[in-house]
Structure 1
């Protein structure tokens, strides 16, 4: 079968398509004939440390397709089921997916939409619900709201009854996201949002901040957080890995700062809250309260072009790779 591999050489990533043997599912895995897989920026950002320098590895982190074979100990799934889930090596024709990660695709979703759900919306569920404790009518500030995680956070927050402020350097992208419920669009890159955030929240500040940008917006975000506010660090595409921390604000406002990453978690830890995700988020996707936004689907042999689109920030929502089925 065909599979994409990537290695880091210096400060660049190099893609390669390989012909490898089709994987055999382990006892607690399913073999999925993939129809689509989505791109995630963190996999291509060298600073995120997901790839060792000079060492090639199969890439792709989430996908959707049809089960072709079951491991000997798998229960509750069958051959022919349409599933979506997190799995290693998803930019391929087939992948072995842990059965615990495999979720039945709601009938309302295409394979392309389904491929954009597992990793991205699980991250969003972690930062908004599990750690962020977002409540109805609270204010959420999303930096980089047009990214895949940003759009998913916007859609999920609106389904939860929250109000959303989103930053982006593109007025066109913000205009598109108004259609998805964005309450307050802020057209800017980097700093300059504090005054508006404090004004629209009537001087109280944001209850939850989602930072997909990095250290360049950290200090100002802390300044415009509400009492008992929460801050989710998701990514650092700006490359700024350090920032000033106002300890007085942290102390007096009783702020909570947390990271959202699966890099150091075991498979069991990553899967721990899947039941809550299936109960809280999947029904909202199935009935249309949350609609995964796919900006563009590329053919399987166009991963390089898809990666270039992501790296030049031309998209709103998710970019998907479509398999040759």
Structure 2
């Protein structure tokens, strides 16, 4: 079977689709998938063994440069790549208008969520096959439920999660990657608390490592590292370069951000910090049999000393 997955963004949403593909590949012999994804996240789908071809799209960048001839040439090249093959099913698991408009350009029957389930109900009108998946489910389970219905196999609600991906990474036994950046300010962990946590990690013989995805995050990382001897700041780098650093880390501590979900996919132990979002719906989910990922949202438990104590317990450290 030849499947086209349309899940373009964001980073966390792309990661959340991986277990559904693992499910499908396990029950459908010879399943081969192509995947349409935003260019900035194109490194992720190709990690999955069922993905044959990654088709990058650049909607975010194209929107800002519609007056350039090069943009239109890229759009034509994308359409040509999208239509290079016919598919047994085109599965739009994003179910937004922008993704539905990509789906209609592909060659094959289209499936997605029904109007009651889709984030943008109008998108459902572009699908020949429409399925329900409750909005209050965790995103991983919503993807698994949709994919199972669209491909015609049964899914147990409590079926274990398997992302099906790994990354080649050198082990960094002392490094704890601290994922402090997120797109929404209300989801941030206070900078002062990060500073206290970094000091506690260093005192325990660990190295807090602060990546940065933009100038604001880079400035914050610089301040945190300047205030904590023993902490390290990573330069801004492409996702493909950051992945092995996360995959090889001793542990990860992070806010509700796509990189935290990627750490879960790579089987890293750690703690997710959720001061503003519900971890039941949005928390990082550890793969079955992988080290523990603990998600916390209680204000008291979010205090740096408690976060550090929880991490040390997960890692078997005594301080």
Normalised-by-shorter TM-score class: 0.3 to 0.5
TM-score, normalised to structure 2's length?
0.33
Which is richer in helix? 2
Higher strand share: 1
Using structure 1 for the length normalisation, give the TM-score. Answer: 0.32
